[in-house]
């Protein structure tokens, strides 16, 4: 069985601090949406059914009622509800939420009945509060990164902040219960978030792994901003799941991984990839290498390579570096509130104005677009009315977009193009109406 489902271009929406509605999806102008073609819930075994989407919703049937694991983002929740209700109309006794991101909690209200208890880790609420505390920042960044209008991002975030999305039962390390013929062992497994949990059903040899594993290299740092996604607990969590020797692994953004050997193989590859990047980064830090050197030097060996359509090695390396020791790079100017851009005006004047810098930026735009962008920053910091510089910026963004496979990177580049085109339009309008 194919083990993974594509993140697709729109996959980015998914782990963000926003969730999306139909209108939002249409406006992102993105590729394949996972699970949209699904007519019936995927039967994993006699007890487990999967509705596919962003993320997946699972129903576990027992003789004494059902358990729902994760509830997808708002756009998918009604369809998932309909697909899984076709499988069983029995009451939902528990909803287990693997972590606090909205692509896991937005359907809670739909599934919650009078006798339903929602189970999450004890840090679930704290991390929801973190998203609320930085709501303004996430609203701005999610709108840019995912191409969703800000009012939609805000409305979605406000919806899932409501108390109805809270948990009834929380736990610190483990929580178990029996329902009908099945045992649900819930374990704290920090990784992609600090409230991540995994579920083990020993009778079925089934492990639900949440977002601690997906099809691509793990998103150990995400550009919209996140707390440190510390690799060591993440590794320990994956090792714990592997130690159960599962025969089926179910993830929120995976198709089922079936067979004891295949499960062990996939888990081991993920563990080895994270460990390799972590250890190489730490080794380089101790050798006195700076973060830029390590971002360029460290590559995964082919046997444990993973696609970078969602998580990205370079961001993860920097995430680990700065997660462990913060921003200071052993350079004296970094101690002071005077950024390198403070000398942009000096460089601009020394170059003899905008023209030579623009000329050089144009030369670099095709083969070294990021260097070109640095030169353009000098020009536009000093003189934001330089339309030619903005046009070269757009060229550079397009050049980078042509090469980009990572959906988050693509999102920021598309937003950059949009912003520059807006600025160019405004300056041409201003020029016509002096």
State how far the Cα of 170 lies from the Cα of 122, in Å rounded to an integer.
5
Q: How far is the CB of 70 from Zn ion (least distance, A)?
A: 8
Q: How far is the CB of 222 from Zn ion (least distance, A)?
A: 12
Q: Is 7 or 188 the residue whose CB approaches Zn ion more closely?
A: 7
Q: Is 35 or 55 the residue whose CB approaches Zn ion more closely?
A: 55
| Structural tokens at position 162 | 């409501």
Binding site for Zn ion (CB under 5 A): 15, 55, 103, 211, 252
Q: Is 211 or 215 the residue whose CB approaches Zn ion more closely?
A: 211
State how far the Cα of 150 lies from the Cα of 154, in Å rounded to an integer.
6
List beta partners, residue 187.
174, 198
* CB atoms inside a 10 Å sphere around CB 277: 24
State how far the Cα of 100 lies from the Cα of 311, in Å rounded to an integer.
19
Q: How far is the CB of 221 from Zn ion (least distance, A)?
A: 16
Q: Is 188 or 321 the residue whose CB approaches Zn ion more closely?
A: 188
Considering only CA atoms, give the Rg of the chain: 24
Residue 338 burial (C-beta neighbours within 10 Å; 0-12, 13-18, 19+): exposed
Q: How far is the CB of 401 from Zn ion (least distance, A)?
A: 25
Q: Is 310 or 397 the residue whose CB approaches Zn ion more closely?
A: 310
* Per-residue DSSP letter, 310: S
CA–chain centroid gap for 263, Å, is 23
CA–chain centroid gap for 21, Å, is 18
Q: How far apart are the first and last CA of the chain?
A: 65
State how far the Cα of 118 lies from the Cα of 357, in Å rounded to an integer.
59
State how far the Cα of 57 lies from the Cα of 41, in Å rounded to an integer.
10
Q: How far is the CB of 55 from Zn ion (least distance, A)?
A: 4
Q: How far is the CB of 251 from Zn ion (least distance, A)?
A: 9
Q: Is 104 or 399 the residue whose CB approaches Zn ion more closely?
A: 104
Q: How far is the CB of 225 from Zn ion (least distance, A)?
A: 17
Q: Is 213 or 365 the residue whose CB approaches Zn ion more closely?
A: 213
| Structural tokens at position 179 | 């329902």
């Amino acid at each position: 069985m194919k083990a993974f489902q594509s993140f697709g271009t729109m996959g980015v929406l998914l782990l963000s601090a926003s969730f999306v509605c139909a209108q939002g999806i249409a406006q992102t102008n993105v590729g394949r949406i996972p699970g949209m073609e699904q007519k019936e819930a995927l039967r994993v075994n006699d007890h487990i059914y999967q509705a596919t989407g962003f993320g997946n919703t699972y129903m576990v049937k027992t003789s004494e009622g059902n358990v729902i694991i994760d509830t997808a983002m708002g756009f998918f929740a009604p369809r998932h509800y309909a697909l899984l209700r076709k499988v069983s109309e029995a009451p939902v006794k528990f909803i287990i939420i693997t972590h606090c991101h909205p692509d896991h909690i937005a359907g809670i209200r739909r599934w919650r009945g009078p006798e339903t208890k929602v189970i999450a880790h004890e840090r679930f609420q704290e991390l929801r509060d973190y998203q609320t505390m930085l709501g303004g920042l996430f609203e701005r960044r999610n709108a840019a990164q995912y191409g969703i209008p800000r009012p939609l991002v805000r409305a979605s975030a406000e919806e899932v902040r409501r108390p109805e999305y809270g948990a009834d039962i929380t736990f610190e390390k483990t929580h178990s219960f029996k329902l009908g013929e099945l045992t649900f062992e819930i374990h704290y497994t920090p990784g992609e978030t600090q409230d991540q949990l995994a579920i083990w059903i020993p009778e079925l040899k089934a492990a639900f792994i949440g977002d601690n594993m997906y099809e691509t290299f793990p998103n150990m740092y995400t550009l919209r901003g996140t707390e440190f996604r510390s690799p060591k607990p993440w590794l320990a969590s994956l090792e714990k799941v592997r130690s159960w020797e599962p025969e089926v692994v179910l993830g929120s953004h995976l198709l089922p991984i079936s067979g004891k050997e295949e499960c062990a193989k996939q888990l081991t590859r993920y563990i080895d990839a994270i460990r390799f990047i972590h250890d190489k980064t730490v080794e380089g830090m101790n050798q006195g290498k700076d973060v830029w050197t390590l971002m360029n030097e460290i590559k995964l060996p082919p046997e444990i390579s993973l696609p970078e359509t969602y998580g990205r090695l370079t961001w993860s390396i920097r995430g680990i570096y700065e997660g462990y020791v913060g921003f200071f790079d052993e350079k004296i100017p970094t101690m002071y509130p005077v950024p390198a851009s403070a000398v942009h005006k000096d460089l601009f004047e020394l170059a003899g104005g905008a023209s030579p810098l623009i000329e050089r930026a144009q030369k670099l735009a095709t083969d070294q677009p990021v260097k070109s962008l640095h030169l353009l920053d000098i020009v536009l910091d000093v003189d934001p009315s330089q339309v030619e510089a903005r046009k070269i910026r757009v060229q550079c963004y397009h050049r980078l977009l042509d090469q980009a496979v990572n959906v988050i990177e693509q999102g920021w580049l598309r937003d950059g193009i949009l912003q520059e085109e807006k600025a160019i339009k405004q300056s041409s309008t201003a020029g016509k109406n002096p």
